[in-house]
Amino acid sequence: MIRHTPYQRAAPSPLPSEGWRQHSACADQDVDPDAMFPDGKGKTAELRYAKGLCFQCPVLRECLDDAMRIEGRAGPDYRWGVRGGLTGGERAALYRRNPGRWGALRWRS
């Protein structure tokens, strides 16, 4: 029996480092790429739409892992768009809570 502790990390994605992108909900031809980049305040409808796409996406975890790995220690001003269901500010806060987890990510091919 496997016992899970709060110190265990999820297993790396079985998808290749870039192959997951073709399975993303936002890669659908009917989705405007700009929809994932709601800019400015007062864009709550656009933000809800982008996050809604993420939350029904089969590769949400891979997208978030990729964003966190690429963005690293960047602050919220250098994180754009909604990726992995989170805004740039939300990803920056997540990184600050546990920076070691994201720096250690490595994709397996």
- Quick: pLDDT tens for 19-43: 888 889 988 878 888 889 887 676 7
Q: Answer yes or no: pTM beyond 0.75.
A: no
Radius of gyration (C-alpha) of the chain in whole angstroms: 15
Q: Say what the pLDDT of residue 79 is.
A: 83
Which alpha helices (DSSP H) does 1-109 contain, by range? 44-55, 60-71, 88-97, 99-103
Q: Where are the domains of the chain?
A: 19-103
Q: Hey, how many other C-beta atoms are within 10 angstroms of the C-beta on 63? A: 22
User: Which phi and psi (to 5°) does residue 91 adopt?
Assistant: -70, -40
Mean pLDDT in residue range 57-71: 90
